[in-house]
Amino acid sequence: MVKDILDIVAFRNRVINAVSGGKALLALFALPEHVLCAVLGDREKRSAETLFAAVEGDEYPSLTPQCPQAHMFEREIAEQYDIAPLGHPWLKPVRFHRPYRAGAKVFAETGPAVCDFFRVEGAEIHEVAVGPVHAGIIEPGHFRFQCYGENVLHLDIALGFQHRGAERALVSNPKRRIFYMETLAGDTTIGHTLAYCRNIESLGGMQISESAEAARAVALELERLANHAGDLGALAGDIGYLPTMSFCGRLRGDFLNMTALLCGSRFGRGLLRGGGLRRPVTKEIADELLSRLIAAEADLKNAVELLWNTPSVLARFENTGVISAENAVALGLAGPCARACGLGIDARKDFPSGIYLKREFEPAVCATGDVYARAMTRWIECRDSIALIKEILPAAVCGPEPEAKPALAPDSLSVSVEEGWRGEICHIARTDARGQLDFYKVVDPSFRNWPGLALAMRGQQISDFPLCNKSFNLSYCGHDL
């Protein structure tokens, strides 16, 4: 049930004014009953609000010209529910699938990456198409560069090759819901599953023990450590600096093995359930985990600090793929990509839950917005995560708790925000009159950050693309859902 529905003009003004006043547009989407919903986060008040608006007909005035943060969300609305945002400056599909309802026929039926790309005309301008099949073992995506010589003037990114219809499957198949959550983005199992559990616990009125919350935070920070360590090694590999690449490749495995010790799975599957944990965290596990963490901390410090003491590494990292703080705000970037631009935003501070509620948390922030800043932000976050795990691990010892299946509050809506390793993960769950989920929305941070990669490439040499791409390390499947 949706209450307090605004007219579209009032809705549009409220969203634009809120974002220009500093609030975050955490989500903007359409509900099946032809209603738009915006989730606005107030970082100072550490709260979020939802706004609703009815759409008359199959079109509405676009928010994007005054609120660029909305541009990817409005493209998604047009694709999913065939509602046209009039005046959108660059309207095209996001995932290239059939709409969920017949409406304004916004897009012709086509396949992934079959669309108009921005084109630069002129003498000696040439176009370079990369993907969707790549030389490395990565996910499929298409990149279209407009170049003058070696310099990139513009980059268009087309994804959608892995669209699975995950959001609707989450609603239609309750028995597999937790497994869908654990595989929405395979390297963000804890982040997405935790956001889901928060919504179920909120709708079901469940209380979580402090020890279970501590164990959840340990798992979340281990996921951050494994991915950040892997990224730092991969960045070193992209510029041919083999010592850090080799060390960090091994250390990523160490952090994944610590996750396996805690969860029973190197990818974090099998630990989280609504109401608590599925597995026990014994004192023996906690002691062994702490011992391994201390050893890995020393090795990681030695491996990563090689980067900052090597002039050839700094020469490739510094001033490469720069994004200004103003552009980061305009695009609504999230996570380490935003913090590398000087933005002190972090859901653990701004929208805290669990153990983060009782702690003063300072995000890792750098100022230069380049590859160096994105790498350094990851390193600072690694140190912070290790310190936090050491502090809370003794409190994380607890037994398994039987999976709770309480009745969910009927006609209710819940929003959860967690800081995954890539940034803010936002989940929205809604129940019908019977207390059954009838709508679920997922916003992975990659959805907000892909335009940042395109902007970072402007003015760069095309040979810098692998390095810039790795410094963002965005999820294809988390975007495609």
316-370 residue pLDDT tens:
999 999 999 999 999 999 999 999 999 999 999 999 999 999 888 899 999 999 9
Res 405: pLDDT: 75
Instruction: Tell me the pLDDT tens digit for each residue of 269-309.
Output: 999 999 889 999 999 999 999 999 999 999 999 999 999 99
Residue 261 pLDDT exceeds 70: yes
How many residues does the structure list for the chain?
Answer: 481
For residue 404, what pLDDT is reported? 67
CA distance 107 to 56: 19
- The CA distance from 34 to 407, in Å, is 27
Residue recorded with tokens 């559990």: 197
Residue 272 has phi, psi (to 5 degrees) of: -90, 140
pLDDT in tens, 90-102: 999 999 999 998 8
β-bridge partners, 37? 29, 52
Using a pLDDT cut of 90, give the percent of the chain over it.
91
pLDDT above 80 (res 402): no
Mean pLDDT throughout 202-221?
Answer: 95
Bridge partners, 30 (sequence order): 36
Residue 90, judged by CB atoms within 10 A of its CB (0-12, 13-18, 19+), counts as exposed
Looking at residue 169, its pLDDT comes to 95
pLDDT value of position 451? 97
Tokens standing for residue 300:
């990681």
CA distance 140 to 382: 29
CA–CA distances in Å: residue 427 to residues 6, 147, 344: 22, 38, 22
Smallest CA-to-CA distance from 334 within 244, 470, 448 is with 448
Q: How confident is the model at residue 111, as a pLDDT?
A: 87
pLDDT-derived band at 398, boundaries 50, 70, 90: confident
* pLDDT at position 474 over 70: yes
The average confidence (pLDDT) of the chain is 95
State mean pLDDT over 69-89: 96
Distance of alpha carbon 340 from the chain centroid: 15
- Burial grade of 172 (CB within 10 A; 0-12, 13-18, 19 or more): exposed
- pLDDT mean over 5-14: 96
DSSP state, 408?
P
What is the Cα–Cα distance from 209 to 257, expressed in whole angstroms? 26
Q: Is the confidence at residue 137, as pLDDT, over 80?
A: no
Categorize the per-residue pLDDT at 468 as very low, low, confident or very high, splitting at 50, 70 and 90: very high
Question: At 403, is the pLDDT very low, low, confident or very high (cuts 50, 70, 90)?
Answer: low
Query: Of all residues in the chain, what percent carry a pLDDT higher than 70?
Result: 99
Per-residue confidence (pLDDT) for residue 3, from 0 to 100: 67
Query: Does position 136 have pLDDT exceeding 80, yes or no?
Result: no
For residue 37, give the amino acid letter.
C
Specify the pLDDT at position 467: 97
Bridge partners of residue 39, in order along the sequence: 27, 50
Query: Is residue 245 pLDDT above 90, yes or no?
Result: yes
Q: Phi first, then psi: give them for residue 447, nearest 5 degrees.
A: -60, -35
Q: Rounded to whole angstroms, how far apart are CA atoms 187 and 220?
A: 11
In the chain the first and final C-alpha atoms are separated, in Å, by 25
Each residue's pLDDT tens digit, 139-153: 899 999 999 999 999
